């Protein structure tokens, strides 16, 4: 895909072009260890006279431009809060506080804004975190689509916890916390009026409670990543690259609702690249896989958790094994099959 | 001003309507001490076995939608970095890390984006802080005006430092760090092609270095506020309300460049309400006023620092004394004389 020196929608899709943009533009300008790690959150050690005692905080930000702003199972406010809580949780951090910067379109109905803000407050209560600071800007009619929200979050990383996309190792089990693709297909259905019936609902939810359970069971968790923009396919490729590992996935083990499967077929997209807002992938030592799965399944948000694959040494790559014995490389996505899904 | 249940540009102006929106919408939904303080940053105490030893962090966020995105003396990237560093500095915090969430319009030239990101990196170097995490979203052509940036920041509040808009006290001296209105009039001139000549330049700059100097001189600094959206007039009204004090200002003492004065006269606006991006107001104990002023003036960004007024007990209010002996109440601004200035 050629960009002729201009920004394309695909630069925001979370796939190959997003990575290329981040590397050529941001990593070149801002050289520091936290940013270069490209994890869901940055880790910052507080200065302390005793470095071993230094508190470590996680810090993250995400913009939300989803259209429509309300959809079954959630809205832009809910995913803004959940997404940021989840990014903190992926470093094992307990949230200390959230911020919200709202960019509102002139003429937005206050009633709708009130509903969205109420949804943010409800999601923050679920995650047991306070929204402690914010900002509101208004742009002229047409200069935004109803509203955009940017949430940021600060969390405390417990002593001894060290999770990163660079930490996955040969032998690790690959676990997912539940069905894939629900959020993205739900938003597409709502936006395009595709008319899919049934149980389509966004899975937007704060995962920090489930992650606390997982981490309290074992010290064998190496990597967590929430499966937002770009879906499982992008997350696995990022981790394979960052950790220098090969990941083999059993396609038949990946949980996808039949309604989501049907929606993906009609849209001509692969559920492995569709955004989720309440699902994660975990890389854990094989000996701990059972205990971590049990911890996930004992939490309402991890009822459908399963093992889907295994890590081995080898050229960084993701290989999917199909039920009929085939194998295919799962690549980073090039374009943007589902724009403005989060 | 009636809103008929819809969001107006003035809701984002930082004046009375912004406050009304924050109170009716956000404070009602999110009840917590940090948010209710309405300071430039939220203060969060980290959990610690010894509460007296607990580290305190400052956390802040701000959205930037300025038009045009480049103007004399700065650009949207520079004010995004400086504004967030300054919000941390207003609690006396030393910046630990910044985040940036970019919302880009499809079709934006990469060359321009590269220049803005380079400007952000330069401002971060000036402030001696790293940009440690970020996010990029792209919206369709027309759904944003070139680009919006939301920056957030985390800082460490040194032990013993406690600054807040609620801490100003009768007897305090009121100091400003330099000339007012430069940023807002420069952006209006660039956007509307008003053709003012001369020394009009945005004052966008990171104030954390100067604030460190001020705080190292004395423990008599009670309140700092940077004079962004809404200008000095709004900041003084906020502090008068939060601290329950009367503030008397000597209009003749307020430093305004003649070019800014001329621009304001032509635009029919009061420089006291015009946004700055590198100026602060300080409330300090009278006995320390000289030492703090000296510390400010010894820093390049505080060369023109002066005392402009005094705090007394009384009904929360701001009274401006004119050179010819008159006095007028300075009220919170109602509408938005200068939309999208930051």
* Nearest residue in A to B47, CA atom: A156
Would you say residue A22 lies in a domain?
no
Alpha helices in chain A (DSSP H): 16-21, 28-29, 33-37, 76-89, 110-126, 182-192, 208-217, 231-243, 258-267, 289-297
Is A163 a member of any domain?
Answer: no
A115 and A256 share one domain: no
Within-domain flag for A215 = yes
Q: Hey, of B33, B44, B63, B128, which one would you mutate to test binding to chain A, going by the most A CBs within 10 A of its CB? A: B63
Same domain, residue pair A205 and A325: yes
Whether the predicted pLDDT of A14 surpasses 90: no
Which residue among B61, B97, B144 sits closest to A134, beta carbon to beta carbon? B61
**Is the same domain home to B137 and B52?**
yes
**What pLDDT is stored for residue A48 in this prediction?**
81
Same domain? B89 vs B200:
no
pLDDT the model gives residue A306: 98
A307 and A186: one domain?
yes
Look at residue A70 and tell me if it is in a domain: yes
**Residues B238 and B276 occupy one common structural domain:** yes
B144 to chain A: closest CA residue: A143
Q: Is residue A274 part of a domain?
A: yes
SS3 A63: strand
Say yes or no for a CB contact (<8 Å) between B136 and A105.
no
Please give the pLDDT value at position A32.
Answer: 85
State whether A216 and A317 are in the same domain. yes
pTM to 2 decimal places: 0.96
- Among residues B157, B185, B214, which one ends one of the domains? B157
A335, part of any domain: no
Q: Shortest CA distance to A178 belongs to which of A307, A289, A77?
A: A307
Give the domain-ending residue among A127, A157, A187: A157
A2 — pLDDT class (breaks 50, 70, 90): low
Burial code (b: 16+ CB inside 10 Å, e: under 16) for A294-308 equals ebbbebebbeebbbb
**pLDDT for position A1:** 59
Tokens 């940013």: give the residue.
Answer: A35
Give CA separation, A339 vs A38, A304, A336, in Å: 22, 27, 6
Q: Over the stretch A172-229, which tens digit does the pLDDT of each residue have?
A: 999 999 999 999 999 999 998 888 877 899 999 999 999 999 999 889 999 999 999 9
Q: What is the CATH number of the domain that holds A103?
A: 3.30.1330.10
Those residues whose C-beta lies under 8 Å from the C-beta of residue B129, and which sit 6 or more positions away, are B85, B95, B96, B97, B98, B153, B208
3-state SS assignment for residue A241: helix
For residues B133 and B239, membership in a common domain is answered with: no
Nearest CA in chain A to B137: A12
A225 and A179 inside one domain? yes
Chain A residues close to B22, C-beta within 8 Å:
134, 136
Positions in chain B whose pLDDT score sits under 50: none
State the ipTM, two decimals. 0.95
Note the pLDDT of residue B94: 96
User: Domain residues for B68?
Assistant: 40-157
Structural domains of chain B, count: 2
Helix axes B208-217, B289-297, angle to 10 degrees: 150
Residue with tokens 């400086």: B82
Specify if B16 maps to a domain.
no
| β-strand partners of A224 | A282
Task: Decide if A44 and B104 are in contact by the 8 Å CB cutoff.
Answer: no
- In the predicted structure, residue A154 carries a pLDDT above the cut 90: yes
Q: Are residues B189 and B145 in the same domain?
A: no
Task: Measure CB to CB from residue A47 to each of B99, B107, B156 and give the nearest one.
Answer: B156
Interface test with A, best of B3, B5, B22, B59 (most A CBs within 10 A): B59
Residues 6+ apart with CB under 8 A from A97: A129, A130, A131, A132, A133, A153, A154, B34, B42, B44, B59
Residue A8 lies in a domain: no
Residues B252 and B322 reside in one and the same domain: yes
Q: For all residues of chain A together, what is the average pLDDT?
A: 94
Query: Could you give the CA distance from residue B320 to residue B322 in angstroms, rounded to a whole number?
Result: 6
Beta-carbon contacts of B250 under 8 Å, excluding residues fewer than 6 positions away, are B308, B309, B321
Q: Report the distance separating Cα B233 and Cα B15, nearest Å.
A: 9
Arithmetic mean of pLDDT, A70-87: 98
Given A122, A157, A192, which residue is the final one in a domain?
A157
Query: Residue B123 has what DSSP assignment?
Result: H
Number of CB pairs < 8 Å for A and B? 266
Q: Which residues pair with A63 in a beta bridge?
A: A150
The shortest CB-CB distance from B6 to any of A21, A99, A108 is to A108
User: Is A93 in the same domain as A230?
Assistant: no
Residues of chain B neighbouring A114 (CB-CB closer than 8 A): 25
Cβ distance A32 to B150 less than 8 Å, yes or no, reads no
- CATH number of the domain residue A260 falls in: 3.90.650.10
Binary contact (A105, B57; C-beta < 8 A): no
- The pLDDT tens digits for A291-341 are 999 999 999 999 999 999 999 999 999 999 999 999 999 998 877 778 899
């Amino acid at each position: 895909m050629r960009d002729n020196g201009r920004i394309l929608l695909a630069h925001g899709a979370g796939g190959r072009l997003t990575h290329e943009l981040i590397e050529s533009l941001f990593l070149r300008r801002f050289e520091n260890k936290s940013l270069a790690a490209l994890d869901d959150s940055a880790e910052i050690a507080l200065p302390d006279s005793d470095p071993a005692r230094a508190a470590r905080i996680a810090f993250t930000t995400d913009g939300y431009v989803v259209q429509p702003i309300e959809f079954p199972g959630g809205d832009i406010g809910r995913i803004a809060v959940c997404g940021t809580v989840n990014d903190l949780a992926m470093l094992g951090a307990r949230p200390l506080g959230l911020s919200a910067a709202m960019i509102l379109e002139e003429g937005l109905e206050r009633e709708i804004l009130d509903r969205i803000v109420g949804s943010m407050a409800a999601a923050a209560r679920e995650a047991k975190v306070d929204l402690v600071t914010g900002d509101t800007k208004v742009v002229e009619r047409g200069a935004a689509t109803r509203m955009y929200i940017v949430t940021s979050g600060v969390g405390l990383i417990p002593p001894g916890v060290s999770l990163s996309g660079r930490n996955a190792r040969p032998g690790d089990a690959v676990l997912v916390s539940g069905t894939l693709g629900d959020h993205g297909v739900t938003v597409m259905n709502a936006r395009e009026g595709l008319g899919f019936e049934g149980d389509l609902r966004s899975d937007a939810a704060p995962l920090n409670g489930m992650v606390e359970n997982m981490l309290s069971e074992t010290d064998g968790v190496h990597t967590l990543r929430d499966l937002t923009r770009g879906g499982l396919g992008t997350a696995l490729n990022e981790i394979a690259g960052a950790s220098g590992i090969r990941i083999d996935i059993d396609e038949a083990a990946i949980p996808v609702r039949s309604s989501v499967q049907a929606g993906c077929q009609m849209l001509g997209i692969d559920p492995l690249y569709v955004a989720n807002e309440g699902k994660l992938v975990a890389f854990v030592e094989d000996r701990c896989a059972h205990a971590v799965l049990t911890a996930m399944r004992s939490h309402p948000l991890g009822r459908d958790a399963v093992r889907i694959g295994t890590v081995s040494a080898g050229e960084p790559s993701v290989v999917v094994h199909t039920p009929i014995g085939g194998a295919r490389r799962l690549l980073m996505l090039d374009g943007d099959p589902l724009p403005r899904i989060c």
